[in-house]
Chain A
């Protein structure tokens, strides 16, 4: 199945900021980003915690407390994980929009 990602302009600016913020750890960040992008494109990542219930967004951890927010074009609810978070299954999605990078730390 052919899958594609669309990296929003806003996401790009956040990503550039994150590289600046994590100066000296660029390789680590790039490696994790590659892992996420590869997983979404080849279908090896098919589930992720729900980010916001009303707009079908999901999130995946990057490094430290930073998380990438994205929106698959097809998804279904898939129960909850051990931490009680709602999990979304996007195995049949073919297009993912990369929207933002946010911090989970309180």
Chain B
């Protein structure tokens, strides 16, 4: 792998080596995209808007569908949501990944859950009430044994 180096200057400016510009096929005014790889490194990609119907466009559409499938999307319910989302994007803030929708229970499922919770609570309460009695009984049994000895 060929390595080239550049120095960070004022206002975080770096000049891309000519060989990199050539290899990426960049031209004046092109936009590049930086993405962190999670290991402290950064990857640089040309962020071109590709032509409709091109092979690159199809690849990008597939990647977007995969993003959706794997939960890398933001749910938009209003124009206000969308504006906030765009604002975050433009500030370079990672957009939030949509929270999975809360699953709604049917009426009968809700009834079953309530009944189960009620039963468990009753068991818990009765065990709490019985515990002192049980310990008192055990204490009395031990005292009787001691007296017998």
Contacts and interface: CB of A to CB of B under 8 A. Distances in A.
Are A and B associated in one complex? yes
Interface residues of B, number: 34
Nearest to B85: A7
A104 to B, nearest CB: 5
Contacts of A17: 31, 33, 47-49
A interface majority secondary structure: mixed
Interface in B34-87: 47-52, 57-58, 60-61, 63-65, 67-68, 72-79, 82-83, 85-86
A92 to B, nearest CB: 18
A58 to B, nearest CB: 12
Contacts of A33: 82, 86
A11 B82 contact: no
A41 B77 CA distance: 7
Given A19-B90, A33-B82, A34-B83, A4 B76 contact: yes
Contact of A5 (B47, B60, B75): B75
B61 A57 contact: yes
Interface in A56-106: 57, 59, 66-67, 69, 71, 97-106
Contacts, number: 121
A21 B30 CA distance: 8
Contacts of B89: 12, 15-16, 19
A5 B83 CA distance: 13
Contact of A100 (B47, B64, B83, B85): B64
Nearest to A57: B61
Given A6-B68, A7-B95, A57-B61, 17 more contacts: A5-B76, A7-B85, A8-B67, A9-B72, A9-B95, A10-B60, A12-B74, A12-B95, A34-B79, A37-B82, A52-B58, A52-B61, A59-B52, A71-B65, A98-B64, A100-B64, A103-B52
Interface of A: 4-21, 26, 30, 33-34, 37-38, 41, 51-52, 55, 57, 59, 66-67, 69, 71, 97-106
- Sorted nearest first, the 8 A-B pairs with minimum C-beta distance are A10-B64, A17-B47, A8-B64, A99-B64, A5-B76, A9-B72, A8-B67, A9-B67
